[in-house]
Amino acid sequence: MTSTATPVPGRRMLAVNALQKAGLIDHDERMRDVNDKPGGRKGSSKHRSHRPRPIDAYKDAGPSRASMIAARLPGPSTDSISIRGASRPTAVGRMRRNAVSVVTNKPSDASARRITVGVNTLNVWREFVQKRYNADAQFLNLERMLEDESLSKERLYPPGAPGGSAREASVIFKLASQLKPEVRTISLANNNLTGQLLSTMAHYLPNIANLSLENNNIKGFRDLDYISGRKGKLENLQELILVGNPIRDTEYEHGRGDAYKSEIGRRFPSLSVLDREPLAAIGFDAPKQSSSTSAPKLPTSTSFPCEMGPSFITAVDPSIVSTFLARFFHTWDNDRAALLNVYDPSATFSFSANTAIPARARIQGFQHSKEMPNQKKLEWTPWLTRGEGGSRNLSRMAGGVEKMVKSLHVGSEDALKSMMDLPKTKHDVGGAPEKFCLDAWPVGTSLFVCVHGQFTEQPSGGERSFDRSFVLGPSPEASRAKLNGWDVTILSDQLVVRAYSSHEAWKPGPMRVQATGGSSSAQPPISITPQMREQLAAIPEPQRSLVLQISQRTRLTIKFAVECLEGNGWDPERAVANFEQVKGNLAQDAFL
């Protein structure tokens, strides 16, 4: 920024004044209800609780669609900066409401929606952030901002200071997101920060690995929702320091240090160091963040790599699996208590409900079909609450670590107690075999079995779909299972219950990614000659599958399919459209 740039102090105020003069501010409180009703779909409302909180005012003051995009645009060198949630709630909330509710041709209206920070102010913040950045260590040190003279000299209030707000925090985080190389570590120690002041951090700095919030004012677990990886915020966080915050101090004062660690761990699945102590975690060979810098293209294949295959059982006698499953489901339906025999004494069992409405089943209308008159009588409540601990859907779980532990049933006795409390069912395993699908093979000394199918729930008589995954082991000699005629014993059993979807989903054969144009959908598959195979082998993926697809849809030879795609930027839809235009003029040898 050059010194000749004219400072525009109070530019935001000017905009507000203009709106007041235009009569567009300070009336119609009712508009708030119209715009902010719960369940209204707006950008930042996804994880908002239904209980209104002061923070919601900030969130609402945040992005319209347009300003979201503006906020994501690169380029720090302009004379103003638009910030997500950077407004004070009252004035801007009104401005936004008016902006959408009042038909106007005043130019000031549009410009006022863009929240601006004056040039001078912004320069001070930018210099401050740059001064605090150690690029070699990728470390942004924002400790003790209240004591920074460069800020106090300009009468700027950092977040956490009296007079400071989430607006300043947003400015800082956005400027931090523009630093090169990317910030990996941030210390915000000793700033009197509340959770709310961190509300925009994950938006601007989603990849930070290490965060110190030491000696701040983070009070409860809810405050961490603003940055929790579990809420989709800081998903790559490896180290977190909360020493010297009420949230940690209170728990330790009450002797709940372990519970505190559990709850933090649950909220940050990627965390491996908490408060300078290792937190037990399991690692994966995850792709490095930096590996995605070369911006490779999204895949373009418009067909699946394989057709839907039938049930797959390998390296194990299929009759062992089918005998087991037939007896298991029959017993589950008719004499569940007798299943105590087939669970290993240390077996694990849990069930979870996926209550989402399946898109294809909804279109197919099973809920209201004459063939399945009882679908409307089905209720989720038993699957959510019963079974001695309820559904163990770990992605939706409220109730914290306690519920997570309680809903996993360890040992055959506990497992059985849970099962006995679940609704009665009828699995028609002796009926149409296509209604069930099975994948099974040995892993180490045990057997890995995945079953998909449907059952009738009692007493409603409605149909549900299920997925069930087992780990089975050979029954030890003289074990309870063996003595009762079970050749295999259950070591682990996970049941997923979901709304009914047709078994057509796993019907063996070709599957479509998208609808195909009218005539070509009726085409039988082309037969691939050795010569064609040779030609195809010379074409790299993903082009190869496009060529094959075009050849299938148009009956063009490989050579002409390639030409057709090349002439249309490798866009298969354009290629087919182009083909339809010119196909009358093509020579016979262009076709298979």
Partner 1 sequence: MATLTRNDIEIATRAADHFTRLYYSTYDSPTRVNDLPNFYRPTSTVTWNGNPCEGSDGVKKVMEGMPSTKHEVQSFDCHPIPGSQPPSLLVTVSGNVVHGKGTAGNPVSTPSRSVDGQPRVFAQTFMLVPDPTAPPVKPGEVAKYYIGADAMRFVG
Q: Rounded to the nearest 10 degrees, what angle do helices 89-101 and 11-21 cross at?
A: 50
453-472 positions binding partner 1, by CB under 8 A: 465, 467, 469, 471
Please report whether residue 569 would count as binding partner 1 according to CB under 8 A: no
By C-beta, is 85 or 229 nearer to partner 1?
A: 229
What's 591's DSSP letter?
Answer: B
Backbone φ and ψ for 240, nearest 5 degrees, come out as -140, 135
Residue 205 three-state SS: coil
Name the minimum Å distance from CB 441 to partner 1.
Answer: 6
> Which H/E stretch holds residue 98?
helix 89-101
From CA 271, how far away is CA 229, in angstroms rounded? Answer: 9
Q: Which stretch binds partner 1 (CB under 8 A): 54-62, 121-129, 136-144, 436-444?
A: 436-444
Tokens of 144: 């003790």
Report the relative pairing of strands 462-474 and 446-457 from DSSP bridges: antiparallel
- The interface region with partner 1, picked from 12-20, 75-83, 245-253, 355-363 by CB under 8 A, is 355-363
Question: What is the number of other CB atoms lying within 10 angstroms of the CB of residue 579?
Answer: 21
Shortest distance (Å) from residue 471 CB to partner 1: 6
- CB nearer to partner 1: give 244 or 358: 358
Cα angle 118-121-122, degrees, rounded to a multiple of 5 = 80
Interface residue with partner 1 among 356, 478, 537, 538 (CB under 8 A) is 356
Identify the three-state secondary structure at position 71.
helix
* Minimum CB distance to partner 1, residue 448 (Å): 5
Binding to partner 1, residues 89-118 (CB under 8 A): none
**Residue 417 engages partner 1 in binding (rule: CB under 8 A):** no
Residue indicated by tokens 């996804």: 46
User: What residues numbered 532-551 form the site for partner 1, per CB under 8 A?
Assistant: 541-542, 545
Q: Does 582 contact partner 1 by CB under 8 A? A: no
283 lines the binding site for partner 1 (CB under 8 A): yes
Tokens (6 digits) for 375: 């679908």
Closest to 113 in 3D by CA, of 100, 123, 125, 102: 100
Q: Does 185 bind partner 1 (CB under 8 A)?
A: no
Q: Least distance from C-beta 248 to partner 1, angstroms?
A: 18
Coil, helix or strand at residue 455: strand
Asked if 290 interacts with partner 1 (CB under 8 A), we say no
Instruction: Tell me how long the chain is.
Output: 592
Of all helices (H) and strands (E), which one includes residue 481? helix 480-483
Q: Residues 372, 401, 420, 526: which binds partner 1 (CB under 8 A)?
A: 401
Pick out residues in 487-526 that bind partner 1 (CB under 8 A).
491-492, 494, 496, 498, 501-502, 505-506, 508, 511-518
Nearest 5°: phi and psi at 303? Answer: -135, 165
Q: Is 266 in the site for partner 1 (CB under 8 A)?
A: yes
Instruction: Report the interhelical angle of 572-582 vs 543-554 (nearest 10°).
Output: 30
| Termini Cα distance of the chain | 65
Least separation in angstroms between CB 81 and partner 1 = 29
Of 157, 63, 74, residue with least CA distance to 114: 63
Tokens of residue 59, six digits: 């969130």
**CB-based contacts of 77: which residues, under 8 Å, 6+ apart?**
1
With CB under 8 A as the contact rule, the residue among 2, 77, 105, 395 that binds partner 1 is: 395
The nearest distance, CB 275 to partner 1, in angstroms, is 12
Determine if 399 is a binding residue for partner 1 (CB under 8 A): no
Question: H or E segment at 470?
Answer: strand 462-474
Q: How far is the CB of 506 from partner 1 (least distance, A)?
A: 6
Least distance in Å: CB of 555 to partner 1?
A: 18
User: Residue 64 or residue 270: which is nearer to partner 1 going by CB?
Assistant: 270
Nearest-approach distance from CB 591 to partner 1, in angstroms: 22
Note whether 262 binds partner 1 by CB under 8 A: yes
If one asks whether residue 348 binds partner 1 (CB under 8 A), the answer comes out as: yes
3-state helix/strand/coil string of 304-339: CCCCECCCEECCCCHHHHHHHHHHHHHHHHHCHHHH
Q: Which is nearer to partner 1, 320 or 408 (CB)?
A: 408
Site string (215-234) toward partner 1, x via CB under 8 A: --------------xx----
What SS3 class is residue 369? Answer: coil
Q: Minimal distance in Å, beta carbon 492 to partner 1?
A: 5
For position 265 contacting partner 1 by CB under 8 A, the verdict is yes
Q: Is 279 in the site for partner 1 (CB under 8 A)?
A: yes
Q: Can you give the three-state secondary structure of 392-420, one letter per residue?
A: CCCCCCCCHHHHHHHCCEECHHHHHHHHH
Specify the stretch interacting with partner 1 by CB under 8 A; choose among 70-78, 160-168, 213-221, 348-356.
Answer: 348-356
Least distance to partner 1, CB of residue 532, Å: 17
Chosen residue from 297, 431, 527, 588 binding partner 1 by CB under 8 A: 297
Considering beta carbons, is residue 165 or 352 the nearer one to partner 1?
Answer: 352
Report DSSP state, residue 568.
Answer: T
Q: Give Cα 467 distance to the centre of its chain.
A: 21
Among residue numbers 26 through 65, which ones bind partner 1 (CB under 8 A)?
none
Give the shortest CB-258-to-partner 1 separation in angstroms: 9
Residue list 304-333, contact with partner 1 (CB under 8 A): 304-312, 314
